[in-house]
Amino acid sequence: MKQNIFVYFLLINILLLLCLCLEIIKIRWQFSQEYENNAYLQVANNKLIEINFNLKTEYYHLSSPAKVERHAKEILNMVEISKATIINYEK
């Protein structure tokens, strides 16, 4: 009778140990997946930071006063006012 109890106890322990081992394997696999996802997100974040920097640089370049002035002079044919002229209207 005692031997049967020890055998059942041993089988229950082996089953519990097997379940724990499978759970550890599953958790380690999930950790490895999370590390891969983290590495992918880091690469994507670095690319987005670089794109953001390039877009900001292009925005500052396009909205610079020199660029706006050149656009006004060349394309819109605007001229700079060198002196103020006073116009008197007769009544």
**pLDDT tens profile 36-83:** 999 999 999 999 999 999 999 999 988 888 888 888 888 887 777 777
**pLDDT higher than 70, residue 86:** yes
What phi and psi values does residue 14 have, to the nearest 5 degrees? -65, -40
- 69 vs 11, residue with greater confidence: 11
- The answer to whether the CB of 73 falls within 8 A of the CB of 79 is yes
Q: Is 86 helix (H, G, I), strand (E, B) or coil?
A: coil
* Number of Cα atoms under 13 Å in the Cβ half of residue 26: 6
Domains of the chain, by residue range, sit at 2-74
